[in-house]
Amino acid sequence: MPPALMWSEVHRPKRIEQMVGNEDARLAILKWLGGWVSGAKPLLLIGPPGTGKTTAVHALARQFDYDLVEMNASDARNRESIETRIKPVFANTGIFGRRIMLFLDEVDGISGREDSGGLDALVDLMKEPTVPVIMAANAKSAKTKELAKACKVIEFSPVPPRLLLLFLDHVLESEGVKLGPGDRVSIVNNSRGDIRAMLNGAQSRAAGYATVSNRDVIEVDVADAINGYFAAAGKENAVQALARADATFPDPRYQGGDAEARRRDMIAALFSSIVSAHLDQDSLAGMLDTLSRADVVVGRVSRRRHWSLLRYVRDMLSHGLYEKSRGKGIKYSQYAMPWQVMGPSFARGQTVRKLSSAIAPAMHVSKRTFGTFVLPYLARAMANEKVDPVQFAVDNFDDGSVGESLAKEIERTRK
């Protein structure tokens, strides 16, 4: 088997009886599918990552000859996008007339009423599904409570250490790799019941890298991880620094989200850090080329729903950027421009927002229309007529601070 392939994919069970752990949960899934009829309740699998939820769904579809339609539910954040994606699945059959099974992963990441009712729409659609629907969530939460009422809930538990060790020994024997007892026990303990984490740790150890526990992976802030990567003295330390980042790889077509989600976007964080540094053209071009290739892969993975391939993107970045970034003094920057440029932009943005909030309603226009089209003409007219902005603001809005913001815009107009 080529060494570039991840063991967690190579050794993913093809049949549900080949899986490790959660025997009762797997039997319940088989019974549910065996008794499924149109309109039957969907299945909601709840359990920590790496316990076999996704593997069980894929094995089930393969064994019982279903075309599996897989979606990441957290990508669809409102009622319209939920309905647009799911309704066509309920209305169609698979290729060559084969049956369809719908799998919605990460339903606990979908938004509720505060974000245009995506969760409510999902609950409504699940009342009478015309195809078998399986959903997965990492934990019980307030978000999944209402959804659980409309589903048959099956819980997955972390896989016990003795079963993990047996499976690890099987994989090591298949790969022709030998690890000492201490390494094997450490890998199993660090995985905390997560089969995928265990196999990734074992493959990393077999390749000569120190294993990294799950706890380390999720606790390092993206800023600290990127600073650690660019400052690391050796490739091994650099790669592990990036591997520990609490960061994501969202589809580049859907990069709205909130500010925190954008901050944790690994490619965006690397891009802003690189372009904010003082680099020679060759180094800059080489690193941006690597980021561009990784961005293309993320887009294709998201479009084709091959989520398991995202794990390769981090290796593309950590190895692809390493040689070009050594000794360049690159440090984490959240913003893709130097402060000398951004500072005045931020300052003016605050001024415009204040003026838009105060004056736009009085002019019966939106804040965006006021800031883009009205404000420049208003400032020019007040400058030409020598209107006192503070007095104007006090007379019309009873707020002298609005006048001070107007004065800044008038002065900018004169310059």
Residues 6+ apart with CB under 8 A from 18: 59
Among 133, 155, 177, residue at a domain's last position: 155
Q: What is the DSSP string of 39-104?
A: TPPPEEEE--TTSSHHHHHHHHHHHTTEEEEEEEGGG--BHHHHHHHHHHHHT---GGG-EEEEEE
Among 128, 155, 182, residue at a domain's last position: 155
Do 40 and 91 lie in one domain? The reply is yes
User: By the 8 A CB rule, do 401 and 354 touch?
Assistant: yes
Do 27 and 126 lie in one domain? The reply is yes
Q: CA dist 249 to 263, 270, 271, 291, 352, Å? A: 11, 12, 13, 12, 33
Beta strand 99-105 with 43-46 is unpaired
Mean pLDDT of 173-187: 87
Using DSSP's 3-state secondary structure scheme, residue 234 falls into coil
Distance CA 348, CA 244 (A): 37
pLDDT tens figures, 199-238: 888 887 776 655 444 444 445 678 888 888 888 888 888 8
List, in sequence order, the alpha helices (H) in 141-280.
142-149, 161-175, 181-191, 195-206, 214-219, 222-231, 235-243, 259-263, 266-275
Among 104, 137, 155, residue at a domain's last position: 155
Check residue 162 and give its pLDDT: 92
Q: What is the DSSP string of 391-407?
A: HHHHHHHS-HHHHHHHH
For residue 45, the one-letter residue type is L
Distance CA 132, CA 43 (A): 8
Do 227 and 321 lie in one domain? The reply is yes
> Buried b / exposed e across 91-104, counting CB within 10 Å, b at 16+?
eeebeeeeebbbbb
Do 177 and 235 lie in one domain? The reply is no
Reported confidence tier of residue 96, pLDDT bands at 50, 70, 90: low
List, in sequence order, the alpha helices (H) in 305-399.
311-325, 339-359, 367-369, 375-384, 389-397
pLDDT tens figures, 311-338: 788 888 888 999 989 888 888 887 655 5
Asked if the model's pLDDT at residue 165 lies above 90, the reply is: yes
CB-based burial of residue 182 (10 Å sphere; 0-12 exposed, 13-18 middle, 19+ buried)?
exposed
Distance CA 324, CA 321 (A): 6
Reported confidence tier of residue 258, pLDDT bands at 50, 70, 90: very low
Any idea what DSSP says for residue 252?
Answer: T
Number of domains in the chain: 4
Tell me, yes or no, whether 385 lies in a domain: yes
Average the pLDDT over each of 140-154, 211-225, 286-300, 353-367 and give the range with the smallest value.
211-225
User: By the 8 A CB rule, do 55 and 13 touch?
Assistant: yes
User: By the 8 A CB rule, do 337 and 274 touch?
Assistant: no
Average the pLDDT over each of 36-40, 53-57, 165-169 and give the range with the smallest value.
36-40
Looking up residue 184, the CATH number of its domain turns out to be: 1.10.8.60
Tell me, yes or no, whether 231 lies in a domain: yes
Check residue 157 and give its pLDDT: 92
User: By the 8 A CB rule, do 191 and 164 touch?
Assistant: yes
Do 184 and 262 lie in one domain? The reply is no
Tell me, yes or no, whether 7 lies in a domain: no
Question: Within a 13 Å sphere around the CA of 28, how many CA atoms are in the beta-carbon half?
Answer: 15
Average the pLDDT over each of 23-37, 219-233, 243-257, 312-326 and give the range with the smallest value.
243-257
Do 50 and 102 lie in one domain? The reply is yes
Mean pLDDT of 282-308: 83
Question: Within a 13 Å sphere around the CA of 117, how many CA atoms are in the beta-carbon half?
Answer: 8
Q: CA dist 75 to 104, 131, 138, 254, Å? A: 10, 21, 16, 8
Tell me, yes or no, whether 329 lies in a domain: yes
Do 177 and 149 lie in one domain? The reply is no
Mean pLDDT of the chain: 80
pLDDT tens figures, 286-296: 999 999 998 88
Percent of the chain with pLDDT over 90: 13
Reported confidence tier of residue 158, pLDDT bands at 50, 70, 90: very high
For residue 234, the one-letter residue type is G
Looking up residue 86, the CATH number of its domain turns out to be: 3.40.50.300
Reported confidence tier of residue 269, pLDDT bands at 50, 70, 90: confident
Tell me, yes or no, whether 12 lies in a domain: no
Sheet holding 133-137, edge to edge: 66-72, 99-105, 133-137, 43-46, 152-155
Check residue 65 and give its pLDDT: 86
Do 299 and 345 lie in one domain? The reply is no
pLDDT tens figures, 388-402: 988 998 888 888 888
CB-based burial of residue 180 (10 Å sphere; 0-12 exposed, 13-18 middle, 19+ buried)?
exposed
Distance CA 265, CA 270 (A): 9
Average the pLDDT over each of 79-88, 172-181, 366-375, 400-409 and give the range with the smallest value.
79-88
Do 315 and 408 lie in one domain? The reply is no
Do 239 and 302 lie in one domain? The reply is yes
- Position of tokens 């008038």? 410
Tell me, yes or no, whether 16 lies in a domain: no
Do 168 and 252 lie in one domain? The reply is no
Tell me, yes or no, whether 199 lies in a domain: yes
Domain of 370, in residue numbers: 339-414
**Between residues 86 and 165, the one the model is more confident about:** 165
Tell me, yes or no, whether 275 lies in a domain: yes
- Bridge partners (DSSP) of residue 117 are 78
Do 288 and 357 lie in one domain? The reply is no
Q: Which H or E run contains 155?
A: strand 152-155
Distance CA 379, CA 398 (A): 19
